[in-house]
Amino acid sequence: MRPILAVTLNPALDIATSVNHVTAGVKLRCGAPQMDPGGGGLNVARAIHLLGGQATAFVALGGHTGQKLRELIETAGLTLVVHPAPGETRQSLAVTDEGLGDQYRFMLPGPEWGTADLAKASEAITAASPADAIVVLSGSGPLGAAPDLYLDLCAALDGDGRDVIVDTSGAALHRLAEGQHKIKPWILRMDQGEAEGLAGHALRSNEETAAFARYLLVRGVAETVIIARGAHGSVLVNADESLAVKAATVPVRSRVGAGDSFVGGFVKALAEGKPLREALSWGSATASAAVMTEGTELCRPEDAERLLAESPVTPVQVG
């Protein structure tokens, strides 16, 4: 199995709870909170670990919240590389309205990073990435980071057989989508809303989504582009093929971590040498398994294995 390094520069202590009904202007009595490590790369590493694989989590932590987060990560059994953050680690809160079944997600800001902080982190990430590793750069960048953050990290990690997968949003994603980069990610993943924001219009079908992914590919944003389509599954496009994977039909209890779980299942399969189509099926099955769990809990391996048969991969015709 190829080594996997999952990087989280802007982690969060994820807190999930519920109330009978969300109403403005009154005190809302919450249920017992569930606390989990949060942030893109951490969730990816957690999903890989739950599926029986191995990944090292590189995470920037600071303050009392960072210490609590470290304890949760170590309790979860993850292999950990801790990098000092320049301030207190952030928190996020997910509150479920039990009456309506709606979930509200509140993301607090983390510490602001300076140029020197980001340079030290880049050096540490490169040092922690063994040759032939798959490096996952996942989640939002920290406050103070330029939109070039992940492009700069791709350049720093270039060589020694490493492959970089990027799953981000906002200004960093827009910068990546400009294309024509000298060094680009191996794989760039985004969700439907992010892709439609870049396209400037709705992507109503697998064919339309694959056509936009092909457009990004031609612009040179990455060697492979994956666009998640929620309950419709995901579309993958590279120079050789255009594929769609179906999402299994499952009860949805929480969408927290579903995208990261997809990346975890997908990357674990690739690291084990499985073909791309099988990895895509594993990613979709793992994401479907994740939405079946409550709060900030991720996938159950038995669910992912069962849902694999319900996550077929088929070609997509792109005009």
Contact predicate 257/43, CB 8 Å: yes
Of 109, 110, 91, the residue nearest 17 (C-alpha): 91
Q: How far is CA 286 from CA 268, 270, 300, in A?
A: 11, 14, 8
Ramachandran area for residue 317 (φ above 0: left; ψ -120 to 50: alpha; else beta): beta
Mark out the alpha helices in 143-248 (DSSP H runs): 149-157, 170-177, 192-199, 206-219
With CA atoms as reference, report the closest residue to 263 among 77, 142, 138, 141.
138
**CB-count burial class (<10 Å; 0-12, 13-18, 19+) for 55:** buried
Catalytic residue, candidates 14, 36, 117, 260: 260
303 is an active site residue: no
CA 108 to chain centre: 18
Q: How far apart are CA 290 and CA 253, in angstroms?
A: 9
**DSSP 8-class letter at 113:** P
Q: Give the residue numbers marked as catalytic.
A: 260
